[in-house]
Structure 1
Amino acid sequence: MIILVFMTDKKRVVGGSSLLRNLIRMPFLPMFELSKTMAKIMQGQSIVMGTNSTSFYASKAANYQQAYVLTRNQHYKSPNQNLAVCHDLNALVSRYQFSTDDLLVVGGQRLWKLFLPYAASLRIAETHATVPGDLVFSEWEDGSFELVGSELGKKVSIRHYNRAKPALH
């Protein structure tokens, strides 16, 4: 099963379009709670990320069942021996879409958009703070997913959504 995993605020801001914009966001984020929440969601799972997200997840690749970086760059070298380089979106979709094994799509924005038509579920960590940023991911709010559960926290809540309409084949 393909699951999109991301952190957002109430305005659906998911990040900054540059390293500087992401650094500006940091003081506004409840980092301890977010780290704990994301680790809870992702521990022991298979994950896929884009090349810009490797700075956040590559060093922890050994904590995951399988970790992939999806890139069109045929010359991309993995920064970590536990991180497999993949150049074929369809190969990952074929492997995981109808599998009992989960593939968590952890970012960034481009990957969430690519995998959204195939996703069966969403796990969204939502901070209660308003966080600056210029990347918004709200495409999933088209009625294709329905809320099936929430875990409310003081600073971060987790919302679980399942696809209400059939995913692409």
Structure 2
Amino acid sequence: MHPPSYCANPHSTTFTRFILYKHLSHGQLGCMNIQLAESTHLTSSPSPDELLEPGLSPRSLGILGESYAEHWLTCRSWRILGRNWHSRYGELDIIALDTDGVIVFVEVKTRRNRRFGNPQEAVEYKKQRSLRRAGSQWLFDKSHRIIHTGVRFDVIAISVLGKTVYVNHVRNAFA
């Protein structure tokens, strides 16, 4: 799958998120306005051209890949709930709410070649187990009370091959 046509969706370093929550004492639904500092995000929308830079370290390529994946999801009307969330079980790259109201934990893998297989193949059983545990911990955190219709784990595999960036979004990659 080729990268999406580029959409104009400028990011700033601070986002406003409206999160529905259930009022604990009255059982009523309300809306909470939360300001989230997004210090790890690029201040402008990432371009596929940035991923093509030959001198990028693997770490820089991974960070750019996550930013590109976030933008790719935002262009598809997904709401980003968090990025690079850490727990004792590991890191969740992207937490998002898709257009059907499903909370999606997205693991992003970015590779320059296929020497070790496709990027999504790097999400093996041990990594899946860590992601499931981290996802459960995120859901049980009281600050993450969001009305949703389900939960799933996706993988976005970004392959930078030659002068082309390929995006493969594997929905429901594992249970």
Q: Which structure's residues are more often strand, by fraction?
A: 2
> Which protein shows a greater Rg?
2
TM-score range, shorter chain: under 0.3
TM-score where L is the length of structure 1: 0.25
TM-score where L is the length of structure 2: 0.25
Q: Which structure's residues are more often helix, by fraction?
A: 1
